[in-house]
Amino acid sequence: MQEHFNEEIENLKTSLIKMATLVDDQVERVFTALETGDITLCKGIKAKDLEIDIYDNLIQTQCENILALFQPVAIDLRFVLSALMTNNQLERCGDIAVNIAQRVKKTTDMQSLIKESQILDMGQQAKEMLKNAIDALILNDLDIAQKVLESDEIVDNFNKQIFLFLVERMKTDIALIEPCSHLIVLIRNIERLADHATNIAENLVFYLEAKNIKHQIKLNPPTE
């Protein structure tokens, strides 16, 4: 029975890693498209997202089966719960990649504004966070997870600064209202991507350390 259970857990891990790799590829592609303005890179993003959605359903079914058939406890229970939560985060990251691809198509003629506004730096930071979160997940590495948790604030700050910058530009030039609006939606998506990366790191801490650190930043918050 234990072997059967271990096999199911291994299958679940494999599905999560495959899904995470797909999401990572999608995000990499859309950010390269954003950086280079090469919209051909956005082709096939939507079709690939369907594969991610298939994994979403598969992982949910795998978790449901493990819970129903094996009633895991302790670390096994935490793994299945964290897999369920991470699955949800990865699926949302996939959707965000599709959203960003749509914005990239609409912002090809805004390269100077994109560069000026630090959106690329923000994107780079968010992409790095997701990559680290996925590495932490694959390697069960809490140090990498900690790095992700600490980076969330950087992306939040970028978000605030770029938003203010874009609002100022809209105020000074009415012709920039539409492009800046697209970019505001874009940074909102990038900020959400970083949030999901943070959640994936939090899920890993829950699984490995049996600690719920949601809505906190440090792994070991200082006691007062």
Reference 59, options 8, 5, 2, 4; nearest CA is 8
- Within residues 114-153, the interface with another protein by CB under 8 A covers none
DSSP three-state, residue 211? coil
Residues 6 or more apart in contact with residue 141 via CB below 8 angstroms: 135
Tally DSSP H helices, then E strands, for the chain. 7, 0
Among 28, 76, 128, 135, binds another protein (CB under 8 A): 76
Residues 6 or more apart in contact with residue 103 via CB below 8 angstroms: 182, 183, 185, 186, 189
Q: Given the complex with another protein, which of 17 and 75 has the nearer CB atom?
A: 75
Q: Given the complex with another protein, which of 31 and 206 has the nearer CB atom?
A: 206
Tell me which stretch binds another protein (CB under 8 A): 65-73, 101-109, 126-134, 175-183.
65-73
How many residues line the site for another protein (CB under 8 A)? Answer: 12
- Within residues 195-214, the interface with another protein by CB under 8 A covers 210
Q: Given the complex with another protein, which of 39 and 77 has the nearer CB atom?
A: 77
Angle (nearest 5°) at CA 136 between 132 and 142: 115
Q: Tally Cβ neighbours within 10 Å of residue 87.
A: 25
Interaction of residue 75 with another protein, rule CB under 8 A: yes
x/- map, 18-47, another protein, by CB under 8 A: ------------------------------
| Amino acid occupying residue 86 | T
Tell me which stretch binds another protein (CB under 8 A): 68-76, 85-93, 128-136, 154-162.
68-76
Q: What are phi and psi of 61, to 5 degrees?
A: -65, -40
Among 73, 143, 174, 221, binds another protein (CB under 8 A): 73
Compute the distance between CA of residue 172 and CA of residue 175 in angstroms, rounded to an integer. Answer: 9
- Within residues 77-116, the interface with another protein by CB under 8 A covers 77-78
Which tokens hold the place of 78? 């935490």
Tell me which stretch binds another protein (CB under 8 A): 76-84, 93-101, 102-110, 139-147.
76-84
Binding residues for another protein, rule: CB under 8 A, are: 1-2, 5, 71-78, 210
